[in-house]
Amino acid sequence: MTAVLLATTCAVVYGTADFFGGLATRRSRVLAVVLLTQLTGLVFVLPLTPLLPGVITPAALAWGMAAGLAGGAGVILFYRALADGVMSVVAPTTATTSAALPVVSGLLMGERPEPLALGGVALALLAVILVSRTPGTVGKVRLRPVLQALASGIGFGAFFVLLKQVPADAGVWPLFGSRLMSVLLVVVLALATHRTLRPGKGSLPVIVAAGILDMAANVLFLLAAQRGMLVLVSVLASLYPASTLLLARYVLGERLNPVQATGVALALGAVTLIAGA
């Protein structure tokens, strides 16, 4: 039950972080937002080390850095796919892949949830697809953005899988390694493409909030993964688009389409099934 609660809270915090990140990208370039949120997370995780103490080992840092590389690449590929493709195709493709990969990995590693929990996992995967659906532009679906979306989902899913491999006594040091690697990745990309990393006017507080929330969600996921099955905690964490949609609905006044509303309802049902198993 503790792992389910941590993973569900993680999804809410991830979704809130994405909401703030979305607001920030309306005022700043994407790479600037990504870099500054990653830097904020890097600074935020250091004061947590005394509260969640751990042993710094090469293995812990290596798993964290590998996760940061996968997650950072996933973010970059996701935004490129959104820029080049149809959002109603890109978003659910990425979300479904990122949710399914840890589930398959967990099953291959020998995890065997109860039948009721597996039903919740199936319901959650369907919920992820539905809440990620957005009205798209009518037109030809090109292969390249779809492949980018698949690669992005693999990156996000690999982030969850790699963090699950972290030694239990590592504390939050793997997340420090993760953020360090993702910061380096974005800086190298920005230098290679000559993109500005300066935030837009008035966007810094929103970016900092997004960075803190994103790192808090990472901590929650790490704690959940140490206490529960990857199959369960990863699919629960992947329900984060539901909280983003609800925030957009009640803060910005955006309307949920019927498909998304159904997805939110299924997400609540999935959490109930997994928690009751």
Interval 57-76 mean pLDDT:
91
Distance CA 254, CA 256 (A): 7
Q: What is the mean pLDDT of residues 177-201?
A: 87
pLDDT at 147 over 70: yes
Residue 13, pLDDT above cutoff 70: yes
Other Cβ atoms within 10 Å of 184 Cβ, number: 15
pLDDT at 77: 87
In a domain, 126, yes or no: no
User: Is residue 200 left, alpha or beta, with left meaning phi > 0 and alpha meaning psi from -120 to 50?
Assistant: beta
Residue 169 lies in a domain: yes
Examine residue 197 and state whether it is found in any structural domain, yes or no.
yes
Q: Does residue 203 have a pLDDT over 80? A: yes
Q: Which residue has the tokens 């690449």?
A: 73
Residue at 201 is within a domain? yes
182 part of a folded domain: yes
Say how far apart CA 175 and CA 225 lie, in whole Å: 13
127 vs 121: CA distance, rounded Å:
10
Query: Is 270 among the domain residues?
Result: no
Q: Tell me how many domains the chain contains.
A: 1
* Predicted local distance difference test score (pLDDT) of residue 273: 87
* pLDDT value at residue 219: 94
Q: Is 48 contained in some domain?
A: yes
Q: Does 139 have pLDDT greater than 60?
A: no
Q: Could you tell me if residue 84 is inside a domain?
A: yes
Round to whole Å and give the CA distance between 81 and 145: 5
Report pLDDT for 159. 94
Distance of alpha carbon 40 from alpha carbon 216, whole angstroms: 11
pTM exceeds cut of 0.95? no
Q: How far is it, in rounded angstroms, from Cα 228 to Cα 225?
A: 5
- List the domain range (segments joined by +) for residue 152: 2-112+140-230
Share of the chain above pLDDT 70, in %: 95
Per-residue model confidence (pLDDT) at position 196: 79
Instruction: Give the DSSP letter of residue 52.
Output: S
